[in-house]
Amino acid sequence: MQDEMVRLDFEQSRRLLESSKKVIPGGVNSNVRMGEQPHPIFFESAEGPYLFDADGNRLIDYVMGQGPMLLGHRPDFVLEAVEHQLSQGILYGGQHELEVEAARLITRMVPSAEMVRFNMTGTEAVQAALRIARASTGRHLVVKFEGHYHGWADSVLFNVGSGSVPGAEGLGMAAVPESAGMAPEAGSSLTVAPWNDADALDEVLASVGDSVAAVIMEPVMANSGVIEPAPGYLEAVRDLCDRHGIVLIFDEVITGFRAGLGGAQGRYGVTPDLTTMGKALASGFPVGCVTGRREIMEIVSTGTVTHAGTFNASPISMAAARAALEHLYLGGSELYDMLEERGHRLMQGLRGVIDSHGAPCLVQGLPTVFNLMFTDMGAVRDHREVLMTDKARRAAFQSHLAAAGVRISGLGNLFLSSAHTEEVIDSTVERFDRALRSFLSG
């Protein structure tokens, strides 16, 4: 293990990346990973709150698989469940009790969950939710919000990291595609609105509400600054959807089981009609789901709505999901109180370091997922303000942070896990201090 005061080097990872680029575009299999600083790192193993890379470095991990590892890397009870299932079978192409047990756990924990359909990813879950909403309402339009990410499919990949044009011609905002190669007509059934502005949504729905099948949002804007909803905002959106007969969808792929046992909807006390979940659902195994009110979900059972997938509810993933969900369910308030306490400890520790250096940095969000931004603003309230922060400077700082042995996401998010002990958190604060001092000294 390296001396904790040594500046880490990632030369072997750099060589592996260059070799990888010969057979994998960009050397990575998700564009999100290209934002890693100082460059994408190659890892060999993980345990608890730590990652071990190809250079023999140990890093305190706050990427945690981009959020899924709420219980830390390689929790014993999840591994045992998966190992047992491996001895029974990998894929049946049919039903098994594990999927029923996992679904029942979700219905006990998530306020909106009366019925559940499993798939593999959050992107798939969102597409299923939109299809169900359209089928149940007989309408076609979807309202999404700028800065909110709902997966990489053409139908929703608009106005995520880019700027929107306020007051664009027509309703809402100009739909800005986030990728080349998207179908030109992909945004034709989409209206984009500013988030955290109930009056703006009211204005949009007053004009097109009768054609809107669904309003979809991250109840906490976790993909852009980790911004909480303004007081009363979620309630206002719920009321507007009820008034216009619109299906309200919460995309809780990040906040599900991370913002609390019942997700963000449990934390803020507002229940959507449909919810999409993933990430922490199965402690790192590929599982997503769409869940919601029985009267809406049952349309899938009629056969008029197609929802399919060879690997949906695979026994291995369901074994992991049941073990992870059962642990969260039994841990209950005691587990989540501990997570909140440790998250606050980390946030306050980082803020103390920032204040001591007089650095233009902001730490903002929930205790279990928060964001680091370079800005003089005291708070970031919407996507427009996120765009005003200095992302290039944050990326440069992340190289210093990695060299000090702390890894955070390219978007600036820090994901906490139950494996981040007080000792690990205090070590993180010390390393953050060293990295920030090095960065500011130029």
Residue 251 annotated to the active site: yes
* Alpha-carbon torsion (263, 266, 269, 275), positive or negative: positive
Structure tokens at 30: 């998700």
> What 3 state SS string does 80-133 have?
HHHHHHHHHCCCCCCCCHHHHHHHHHHHHHCCCCCEEEEECCHHHHHHHHHHHH
> What 3 state SS string does the chain have?
CCCCCCCCCCHHHHHHHHHHCCCCHHHCCCHHHHHCCCCCCCEEEEEECEEEECCCCEEEECCHHHCCCCCCECCHHHHHHHHHHHHHCCCCCCCCHHHHHHHHHHHHHCCCCCEEEEECCHHHHHHHHHHHHHHHHCCCEEEEECCCCCCCCCCCCECCCCCCCCCCCCCCECCCECCCCCCCCHHHHEEEECCCCHHHHHHHHHHHHHHEEEEEECCCECCCCCECCCCCHHHHHHHHHHHHCCEEEEECCCCCCCCCCCHHHHHHCCCCCEEEECHHHHCCCCCEEEEECHHHHHHHHHCCCCCCCCCCCCHHHHHHHHHHHHHHHHHHHHHHHHHHHHHHHHHHHHHHHHHHHCCCEEEEEECCEEEEEECCCCCCCCHHHHHCCCHHHHHHHHHHHHHCCEECCCCCEEECCCCCCHHHHHHHHHHHHHHHHHHHCC
Q: Put the strands of the sheet holding 413-415 in their side by side order.
A: 361-366, 369-374, 413-415
Burial of 295 (0-12, 13-18, 19+ CB in 10 A): exposed
Q: Which of 53, 62, 144, 149 is the catalytic position?
A: 149
Sequence-separated (6 or more) residues with CB below 8 Å from residue 25: none
Q: Which of 279, 336, 382, 391 is the catalytic position?
A: 279
Residue 149 annotated to the active site: yes
Q: Which of 61, 251, 382, 433 is the catalytic position?
A: 251
Give residue for tokens 């949009």.
Answer: 204
The catalytic residue positions are 149, 251, 279
